[in-house]
Amino acid sequence: MVKPFYFVKLPLSFLTMSYSIFINSFFIIIISFSCFGQNQRVIDSLLLEITQRPNDELKVQAFNDLAWEHIRSNSTEAIGYAKKAISLSEELNYERGELEGINRLGTIAFQQKEYNVAIKYYKDLLKKEKKLKYQHGIGRAQSQLSNIYYKKGDLDNALRYAEESLKVFRNTNTENKDTSIATVLSTIGSIYTDMGFYDNAIKNLLQSLETREKLGDEVEIAKTLSKLGILSISIKEYLEAKKYLIKSLAISLKKEDKFAIARTYNNLGIVAYHLGVYDDAKEYYNKSLTLKTDLDILENDWLIYNNLGTLDLDLNNLDSALSNFRKAEQILKKQNIVHQIEVPLNIGVVFHRQKKYQDAITYYMNALQIADKSYITEIKILNNLQLCYTEINDFERALTYSQRTLQVNDSLVKEKRKAIQRLTDYEKQIELLGKDNKIKEGENKFRSLLNYGLAIGLLVVGLLFFVISRNKKQRQKIKFAQQQTEIEKQKATVAIQNQEIEKQKAQALLDSHELRFNQARLEGQEKERTRIAKDLHDRLGSMLSMVKVHYKSVEEQLDTLKDTNQKQYEKANTLLDEACEEVRKIANDINSGTLSKFGLIAALEDLTMSLNESKHITADLTIHGIDTQLDADTEIEIYRIIQELIHNILKHAFAKEVSIQLLQGEKGLNIMVEDDGVGFMYDTENITGMGLKNVASRVEKLEGELQVDSTLNNGTTIMIDIPINDINI
């Protein structure tokens, strides 16, 4: 049975990152939440001052201070005092008091998650600060706007305001200049992390860390180290992540910051999970859970329970997994959090694996209702529903969800087209912009959209091919299930017979003493083989031939040689003949073999058999529509491509199964290599692995297209299309 999709750890680390930026970056709330509690003596003093003072600037400040004291505990009171401060400031023409009041209103709107309202306040604040030319106020407003846009998910505007804020702070000489710079750098690092620009993220976070260390701010150092740890998790540098997180934990333990300790334990659990140290992962998760329970931070405990459940799911401890997911579900209901899709989907997966298909369908449907145009997640759920209905023989609904999957992929295609259109629009805008600063802004937007467009395009093509391939198999399964039992038995018999034939063919190839390809030989290159063979035949062979000629001249004087010398000559001559023959044989062996003698299909069958006999991995080969041999050069290139991909799987993927498919259609040859390994983060613009670089180079030589679809813990699918005009059939 095909395993259903479920949520794994990495997305949860991003949730932790998003929560972290709220705590660390919004520096208007630069003190901790504990400081927001009402100080009754301060409030009483301020109220007394208001009643006794005339309408002056100090009274405005008192109103603003009262708004601040109530900002956490009573937002209605806080709004009222802030508006009184603004009203009185307008009467007194006291601009700074008015701006502080606007600042208070923006803070309240942000805390209430009324982001559009908060944006309106801070844009008004920014406009007024610019009019007054108050640089620190300008930088502060820009930084606050950056954080609001980040929380909204508008990363482009978040980055733009953060960079503008950083520029302003670097050009000011205020007392808190370095603190402000470090805060904005940390925010920029978080934004780049979510954008997937990890080099830029690391650069900014390290600069923030350096500044924090100079300031000696241990609390902020711990938070920045935690961010670097989470970023390292994102790029699969788990040992590096552990190093950062351990340093962060040491500081938090010293400061007795239980909230930070709990958060770091959770992230260390994620690291241990990805390193395969499940006992340590469970211990870290439980430590985090205990601390958060003591702190009564229930709104985040569901993440810990979900992590524990996912760990149990990986270990196939289904009852324990369900128990943890149920606890997470209860917390979400208690907190009235209705848009978290991970928990219902994971509960559905548990029921799916327990073969309780109706219960699984119920939870999958719940998850589908809150997918909210998250195309990738929606495709996962639709595929899981298709699998469930197939298992209960409801083939009509299975086909319905198969068709819905294709419709979602059509939506992805439309998104790609919109992205391309936006790129075109921005190109036109850049041409029309006359000022240097506007040109720079337009180019930044264009580059950002270009990256998104390319990413969406790659995702659309990869997902479309993956889903079509998956649905094709699923439809075949449905049709087979509807046929009579006798026909299924006959087909099974034919399949067994074909399998035996394939084994006999493979054995025949082995008996003919052809070359066996294993993991070490996969790294060989065809050009190097040809060069060695040519050098052996042409250069060394020629040299040996010249030596033979000289020996011929000696034969004319054999009669004059002594018996001993003559025997040595004859022995040397015999060895020379054997050396010439061996050179020709080696050159021939290097440049021949299964591929050159029997063609691509036979060579791939031999490769598949070698993998299966290794007992380390199970390989499956499917070839359709290729009835004759391709031209020799093309077959060599295709074989080397597949050979390199198999080598990468053996070396990096830790896979148990690999599938190789070659399909010949009207437009060309399609190659797909799929494994169930650990997956990896694939960067379309910066291919770092030598293996993938070699593959990309060979595909480009054949004027083909290379697509890579890889997600963590869900394996990797490599798809290659070679145009029909470039191959001879």
User: pLDDT tens digit string along 83-103?
Assistant: 988 988 888 898 888 888 898
Residue type, 673: V
Spatial strand order in the sheet of 716-723: 618-624, 657-664, 668-675, 716-723, 705-710
Q: Which two tokens stand for residue 152?
A: 């909204």
Query: Token match 């391309």: residue?
Result: 420
Cα distance between residue 332 and residue 334, in whole Å:
5
C-alpha span between 696 and 706 (Å, rounded): 7
Give the pLDDT band of residue 61 (cuts 50, 70, 90).
confident
Coil, strand, or helix at residue 479?
Answer: helix
Query: Which two three-digit tokens encode residue 516?
Result: 């066996």
Q: End-to-end alpha-carbon separation of the chain, Å?
A: 37
* pLDDT at 321 (0 to 100): 92
Cα-Cα-Cα-Cα torsion 670, 460, 683, 528, nearest 10 degrees, comes to: 10
Q: β-strand 657-664 against 668-675: which pairing, if any? A: antiparallel
Residue 57 has pLDDT above 90, yes or no: no
Asked if pLDDT for residue 289 goes beyond 90, the answer is no
pLDDT of 319 reads: 94
State whether 641 and 671 are in the same domain: yes
**Tell me, what CATH number does 269's domain have?**
1.25.40.10
Q: Do 264 and 234 belong together in one domain?
A: yes
Could you read off the pLDDT of 567-615 as tens digits, one per residue?
A: 666 777 777 777 777 666 665 555 545 566 667 888 888 889 888 887 7
Mean pLDDT to the nearest integer, 299-313? 83
Residue 573 and residue 641 share a domain: no
Average pLDDT (658-683) is 87
Bridge partner list, 621: 660
User: CA 538 from chain center: how many Å?
Assistant: 50
pLDDT band at 28 (very low <50, low <70, confident <90, very high): very low
Residue 222 confidence (pLDDT): 92
Residue 671, strand partner residues: 662, 720
Quote the distance between the C-alpha of residue 439 and its chain's center: 32
For 249, the domain range is 217-296
Strand, coil or helix: 719: strand
Residues 581 and 670 reside in one and the same domain:
no
Residues 582 and 629 in one domain: no
Whether 621 and 577 share a structural domain: no
Cα atoms in the 13 Å half-sphere on the side-chain side of 118: 25
Tell me whether residue 667 is in a domain: yes
Total of domains in the chain? 3
Residue 23 pLDDT class (50, 70, 90 cuts): very low
pTM recorded for the entire structure: 0.49
- What is the per-residue pLDDT for 68? 85
712, containing H or E segment? none
Query: Given 296, 312, 338, which residue is the final one in a domain?
Result: 296
Tell me the per-residue pLDDT of 142-201, one tens digit each, with 9 for 90 and over.
999 999 998 888 889 999 999 999 999 998 887 788 999 999 999 999 898 888 888 898
Segment 502-540, tens digit of pLDDT: 656 545 444 433 333 333 333 445 556 666 665 665 556
Assess whether 534 and 611 both reside in one domain.
no
More confident position, 435 or 483 = 483
What is the C-alpha separation between 360 and 381, in angstroms, rounded? 11
Same domain, 546 and 587: yes
The pLDDT score that the predictor gives to residue 508 is 47
Judge if 640 and 703 occupy the same domain: yes
* Residue 333 placed within a domain: no
**Cross-strand partners of 657:** 618
Give the separation between CA 266 and CA 258, rounded to whole angstroms. Answer: 12
- What's the pLDDT score for residue 36? 40
685 shares its domain with 613:
yes
What percent of the chain lies above the pLDDT cut of 70? Answer: 67
Residue 671 φ/ψ, nearest 5 degrees? -120, 130
pLDDT-based confidence at residue 53 (cuts at 50, 70, 90): confident
Residue 416 has what DSSP assignment?
Answer: H
What is the reported pLDDT for 729?
41
Q: Which residues contact 382 (CB under 8 A, 6 or more apart)?
A: 368, 401, 404, 405, 408
The answer, yes or no, to whether residue 34 has pLDDT greater than 60, is no
In a domain, 615, yes or no: yes
Point out the domain boundary residue: 254, 273, 296: 296
Residue 607 and residue 719 in one domain: yes
Query: Which residue, 533, 557, 592, sits at the end of a domain?
Result: 592
Give me the mean pLDDT over the 424-450 stretch: 54
Q: Please give the mean pLDDT across all residues of the chain.
A: 76
